[in-house]
Amino acid sequence: MRVRTTKTGSLSTAVQVVRYEYGKTIVVKHIGSAKEPDEILRLKKIAFDWITNTTHQQSFFLKESTFDPLFTKYQNLGVRHDFLYEVLTQMFLKFGFEKLANKLLLDLVLIRIADPSSKLRSQRLLSELFGISYDLTLIYRSLKSIALLKEQVEIRLIDFAKRKLSFDFSFVLYDVTTLYFESFKADEEEGGLRKNGFSKDNKPEQPQIIIGLLVNEDGFPLSFSVFPGNKFEGHTLIPVLSTLQAKYQISTLTVVADSAMISQENIKSLKAAKLSFIVGARFGYLDLATVTTINQKLKSTDRATMRLPWNNGFLICDFSSKRYTKDKSDTEKQISKAQQVLDGKRPTKRLKFLTGEKTTQTLNQKLIERTKLLWGIKGYFTDLSLPNEKIIDHYHNLWQVEKSFRMSKSDLLMRPIYHFKKQAIEAHILICVMALAVAKFMELKSGKSIRVILETLKKVTDARVLNIATQEEALWRSVIPEETRQILEDLELTY
């Protein structure tokens, strides 16, 4: 037997106890009729009790026999992730982002961390995941004002790094990357950002922008700059550092960058500003005598280092057995390709170890021997008098910038860019850098990747439950697992 409700001619709801025999419904007992939801629930309760007392039949759904049966009083409207929203909002408070007085910006940063996507999809996700609604037109129109908050955001990032990460400007890491657009049409006007240039994303046919990023030695973002996609990356360093030095009255600072960032002009500018540097050295400009000296001093000894005075600074070199193995393999592959060209087994083309005209090409033995002398050797150019090992360690921290770029592109989906106007592009980058800062700090504090952190936080859900009688909606939060509580503890958050 079961409880059935049916409409009567007077538009009331009749509550009956029924059973089914040979496909027919038989009314066992008519309990009563009512119009009000609470009265209908009372009649259902009487019907359930009658079934239990008459037949001693227990319901498979235990709640049916209670005064407040869940399956009749409440309706499940779906699941939200308010817990995740609360955690990320508390992280924003640590950065002081609430002082920007722009809730839309913070919600766009939050959804960029939680589930990165286009502005169109972000609008929908904010509603689905957190119950927050924005007009799409308002989002797009607000990008102009969001772009103007860049300086205020950077002030808070640097202040946060000083308070939480012991940052003091002694060493900063700088590198650039390219971000391409979902378009094949570059800006034609002079002041546009979307230009074709050397693409690090292997998208030479698509316009791009260049992002210069300054981070501390943990990879935490401090400042960023946006440049046209056709700008030479070596010309981005001095403007970035000059702006930073003027804004914060910096007297002592060492920038760590790769070899593409340094030229004689940049070195003169750095020295004029009394800034120091550690950069990767290029061996192409060294004569054979110097290369031979470096090789002889290092003696192919793993982790051996040496130092030579060079251009008002020092050239420091070290030897790595692992690097030697890789360099040797790469050179042998290149020599093999060159030999195949000479043997007619590959199309004629210009290769590194070939010399002469196409019809008279030969192996460049001098270049091959010079290259072999440099197997396993890496160079660093600096004006600091620190021990060799310290210089090398600081340079090797550059992988932190590369890691931050990878995190931005993979975890935060900074690319491709769908915006076309300059301020919309700048707003998009600002949102992504803010998201990167929060995500990076969460990784540093917890020792876990942002993906693992988000997966763990999303395990705590908030079920949306509608009280049918009162039409009031409530949120029922699931139990917080121990692994989630551990992350909260690592992030110094309490629940």
63 φ, ψ (degrees, to nearest 5): -70, -15
Q: How many CA atoms lie within 13 A of 327 on its CB side?
A: 17
**pTM, whole model, 2 decimals?**
0.80
Query: pLDDT tens, 258-314?
Result: 988 878 888 888 888 889 999 999 898 899 999 999 999 999 999 999 999 987 799
pLDDT greater at residue 221 or residue 284: 221
Q: Tokens representing 468? A: 């049918």
- Average pLDDT on 369-392 reads 95
Residue 66's pLDDT is what?
43
Would you place residue 22 in the very low, low, confident or very high pLDDT band (cuts 50, 70, 90)? low
Q: Does the pLDDT of residue 65 top 50, yes or no? A: no
Q: How confident is the model at residue 72 (pLDDT cuts 50, 70, 90)?
A: low
Identity of the amino acid at 90: Q
Q: Check whether 205 has a pLDDT greater than 60.
A: yes
Question: Nearest 5 degrees, angle CA 267-CA 179-CA 442?
Answer: 90
Q: Is residue 48 part of a domain?
A: yes
Residue 170 has what DSSP assignment? Answer: S
Residue 83 belongs to some domain of the structure: no
Q: Are 34 and 40 in contact (CB under 8 A)?
A: yes
Residue 114 scores a pLDDT above 80: yes
Q: How does residue 416 score in pLDDT terms, banded at 50, 70 and 90?
A: confident
**Choice between 46 and 376, residue whose per-residue pLDDT is larger:** 376
Q: Is residue 466 very low, low, confident or very high in pLDDT (cuts 50, 70, 90)?
A: confident
Res 396 pLDDT > 70: yes
**Range among 34-43, 404-413, 440-449, 462-471 with highest mean pLDDT value:** 440-449
- Residue 155 CB contacts under 8 Å (≥ 6 apart), including other chains: none
Cα distances from 274 to residues 236, 266, 277, 383, 494, in angstroms, run 18, 12, 10, 11, 45
Domain encompassing residue 59: 2-68
Domain presence at residue 125: no
Q: What is the rounded distance in angstroms from the CA atom of residue 268 to the CA atom of residue 262? A: 10
The answer to the question of residue 231 being in a domain is no
User: Does a structural domain hold residue 14?
Assistant: yes
Compute the average pLDDT of residues 308-332: 94
Structure-block tokens of residue 439: 């995500």
DSSP 359: G
Mean predicted confidence (pLDDT) in 247-263: 88
- pLDDT top residue among 422 and 412: 422
The pLDDT score that the predictor gives to residue 62 is: 42
Q: How far is CA 436 from CA 20, 348, 493, in A?
A: 62, 47, 19
Domain count, the chain: 1
Q: What is the pLDDT of residue 228?
A: 92
The CA distance from 484 to 480, in Å, is 6
Q: Which residue has the higher pLDDT, 70 or 413?
A: 413
Cα distance between residue 29 and residue 48, in whole Å: 11
- Residue 346 is assigned to a structural domain of this protein: no
pLDDT at 56: 59
Could you tell me the two tokens for 44?
Answer: 């259902």
Which string of b and e fits 394-416 if b means at least 16 CB within 10 Å?
bbebbebbeebbebbbebbebbb
- Say what percent of the chain tops pLDDT 70: 96
Q: Place 23 in a pLDDT band, splitting at 50, 70 and 90.
A: low
Let me know: does 5 contact 14? Beta carbons within 8 Å.
yes
Instruction: Check if the beta carbon of residue 82 is closer than 8 Å to that of residue 469.
Output: no
- Rounded Cα distance between 335 and 351, Å, is 9
* 384 occurs within a structural domain: no
**CA–CA distance, 492 with 90 (Å, rounded to integer):** 10
Rounded CA separation 390/371 (Å): 27
Is pLDDT at 67 greater than 60 in this prediction? no
Which whole number is the average pLDDT over 420-426?
A: 91
Q: Is residue 107 part of a domain?
A: no
Highest mean pLDDT among 83-92, 177-186, 236-245: 83-92
| Average pLDDT of the chain to the nearest whole number | 89
Contact indicator for 123, 187 with CB cutoff of 8 Å: no
Q: Rounded CA gap, 295 and 205, in Å?
A: 42
Adjacent-strand bridge partners of 208: 180, 195
